[in-house]
A and B are shown apart, each in its own frame.
Chain A
Amino acid sequence: DAGITQSPRHKVTETGTPVTLRCHQTENHRYMYWYRQDPGHGLRLIHYSYGVKDTDKGEVSDGYSVSRSKTEDFLLTLESATSSQTSVYFCAIRTERGEAFFGQGTRLTVV
């Protein structure tokens, strides 16, 4: 499973509150990604990182920010959660060969 741990695994939060999801990897991969998964949409890329302090936006980045201060950790922050951000969030790493491996996901509910 490429040593990927997501935390928390489940979270319920109120509209307007900040939320941070954490992705931790143990194998020193350079590339890390945050996706959200919603019915009918598959997985959509939120943000990705190609190294410490190097990040870029994906296709659905509005309302999200990320940080990567260490190789092993990639944080996703919802500055002010909205109900439309209720989703399952997956972190992934990609190897230098191009294969992606995923964490177990975080189910976030915004009420």
Chain B
Amino acid sequence: AQSVTQPDIHITVSEGASLELRCNYSYGATPYLFWYVQSPGQGLQLLLKYFSGDTLVQGIKGFEAEFKRSQSSFNLRKPSVHWSDAAEYFCAVGAPYNTDKLIFGTGTRLQVFP
């Protein structure tokens, strides 16, 4: 069965520091992978996605993620965090060519200190 694990519930970084949010998935083949961001009281916004091809994908707001098949991971990174990046981040996995389900991790809350 598909599953997504985000091992870090809460992360705190200083503004300007680098960031890496971890995501591990369980799936029998190469899935579709997504990162979403949610600001308080808002819906989820798609940051980036991986379908196939280049394993390093670029997203909006300066974020990138790297798909590592051998580690079943899809970690989100940003070289320099801004205070406005404080939010909750969700990793999600879906089956290729099958849009019936998208499974989410439990989220990582990012706090940014000035």
Question: B43's contact among A40, A56, A98, A103, by CB below 8 Å, is which?
Answer: A103
Find out whether the CB atom of A100 lies under 8 angstroms from the CB atom of B51.
no
Which of B43, B101, B102, B106 sits near A104, CB closer than 8 Å? B43
Is the beta-carbon distance between B106 and A58 smaller than 8 angstroms?
Answer: no
Complex CA–CA separation, A35 to B106 (angstroms): 13
Question: B34–A100 contact, CB under 8 A?
Answer: yes
Q: Is B70's CB within 8 Å of the partner chain A? A: no
- Cβ-based interface call for A64 (8 A): no
Interface readout for A58-102 with B: 1 if CB under 8 Å, 0 if not? 100000000000000000000000000000001010111111111
- Closest chain B CB from A111 CB (angstroms): 21
Bound-state CA distance A90–B97 (Å) is: 23
CB distance B99 to A45 under 8 Å?
Answer: no
B94's partner among A43, A96, A98, A101 (CB-CB below 8 A) is: A98
**28 A-B pairs with C-beta separation under 8 A:** A1-B43, A30-B99, A31-B99, A42-B6, A42-B90, A42-B107, A43-B44, A44-B104, A45-B101, A48-B100, A50-B99, A50-B100, A56-B100, A58-B101, A90-B43, A92-B44, A96-B99, A97-B51, A98-B51, A98-B94, A98-B96, A99-B34, A99-B49, A101-B46, A102-B36, A102-B44, A103-B43, A105-B42
A residues neighboring B (CB under 8 Å): 1, 30-31, 33, 35, 40-45, 48, 50, 56, 58, 90, 92, 94-105
